[in-house]
Structure 1
């Protein structure tokens, strides 16, 4: 059994969640602060788009932007000597883009559920926005944010379509667990596919169980308060 897809998937999911967690939380905070309803709807639709698009379409757009002869792709090659398309970095990029909306929407929902009276009271007392975010908004929204992070991690771990488009299916380099399942089935090796499927199911179950455990812990903390 080739263990490289497991290692590649885990490494991809870890790196992508680091990117997605902070960018998704920041985007959610900025969108919540927008007062113009039309502008908010437009930004929300744009940031949620990867969630509703077929992953292969999202991968097509990524390939169009980050291909070697495409705008961003040629920029990275020319100025940094880094080829993004069909590299391990492309697996991270695909996983981050596809899982971003889950993190963004979870964080946005968590921010919007925080009692606005707490924020208004803090502003009345003259607290800067950065302090309000750190001491009031973030602690109260943390359960929803962490749940979004776990879901985004699991989604990045199982990403297939966009990864296949921009990263390819290169053994030992970009072949993640979902791509390994596809490759084994295509080769007629169902036994190998079963092993990879079992590992994917187990990892996904652990991620969801972790989310439930975290939610239960936060509920207990709330009762103690």
Structure 2
């Protein structure tokens, strides 16, 4: 190790701060009850809803986030700095603030929600609200990953394709996207993982209705507050979320090594 030897002690303490809570979670788990806990109807409902909404939110982030990343990468440096700051804001905002902001936008008396309510469209406390909340907190992960790749790739190959008669859409599809493919995949994986674990914004904007808006994080919260599923199921679902997150990160690392990144 380079650097002063005394840095080893705080480094070990930092690692312990991350690892020890996970060990405590595993130690608390009653392994004999894990199959029944995970396969209970309430747990399966929360797990299924989480996977479906996280996948839907990831699609939303791809459709909206990739063009946004391209816009930031191709605009002037000053404007790009402002746009980048706005896009990354959900990363530093408390999730509960995000939920309140979404309510003020799409709630029955919100900036846009009032007009939607007038025509009978209500978004809060629906499954769609879960997807919107997850998209709000997860999109920065995709935009940051892809915007950097767009900026690094530059416009040289796009200009060559244009001189050969390729349309803008063909150039984007056949030249630009393949150039940022590895970063796009990494952003998608991180986006899905973040959406899967979203709690705060979802709780305020979508509520906690079983089978409709109760995702895995909300099911865990409900169990530890004395309602819904049991505490053993909550611990099992917590461990399941940890396992999914680890597998996602390991898969992304392995894939990046395979493609030489």
TM (norm. structure 2) is 0.77
The CA RMSD over aligned residues, in Å, is 2.0
Specify whether residues 115 and 33 from structure 1 end up closer, same or farther in structure 2 by C-alpha distance, changes over 3 A only: closer
* 3-state SS of paired residue (2:173): helix
Alpha-carbon distance in structure 2 between the residues aligned to 1:33 and 1:92: 29
Counterpart of 2:210 (choices 154, 159, 171) is 171
- The reply on whether 1:32 has 2:73 as its aligned counterpart is yes
Counterpart of 2:200 (choices 146, 151, 161) is 161
Specify whether residues 82 and 209 from structure 1 end up closer, same or farther in structure 2 by C-alpha distance, changes over 3 A only: farther
Q: Which residue of 1 aligns with 2:128?
A: 89
For residues 111-190 of structure 1, the aligned pairs below 5 Å read 111-125=150-164, 127-187=166-226, 189-190=230-231
Alpha-carbon distance in structure 1 between the residues aligned to 2:69 and 2:210: 36
The structure that has the greater radius of gyration is: 2
Alpha-carbon distance in structure 1 between the residues aligned to 2:258 and 2:115: 46
Alpha-carbon distance in structure 1 between the residues aligned to 2:62 and 2:159: 27
Alpha-carbon distance in structure 1 between the residues aligned to 2:244 and 2:62: 19
* 3-state SS of paired residue (1:171): coil
Q: Which residue of 2 aligns with 1:102?
A: 141
CA offset digits 1:162-215 (Å, max 9, x no partner): 001101112222111111111111118431211111221222223223323432
For residues 49-68 of structure 1, the aligned pairs below 5 Å read 49-68=89-108
Alpha-carbon distance in structure 1 between the residues aligned to 2:129 and 2:155: 40
The answer as to whether partners of 2:134 and 2:195 remain within 8 angstroms in 1 is yes
Q: Which residue of 1 aligns with 2:18?
A: none
- The reply on whether 1:20 has 2:67 as its aligned counterpart is no
Alpha-carbon distance in structure 2 between the residues aligned to 1:196 and 1:143: 31
The answer as to whether partners of 1:177 and 1:196 remain within 8 angstroms in 2 is yes
CA offset digits 1:21-74 (Å, max 9, x no partner): 121111001111112x32222222112211111111111100111111223222
TM (norm. structure 1) is 0.89
Q: Which residue of 2 aligns with 1:78?
A: 118
* 3-state SS of paired residue (1:71): coil
- In structure 2, the gaps of 5 or more residues are 1-39
* 3-state SS of paired residue (1:192): helix
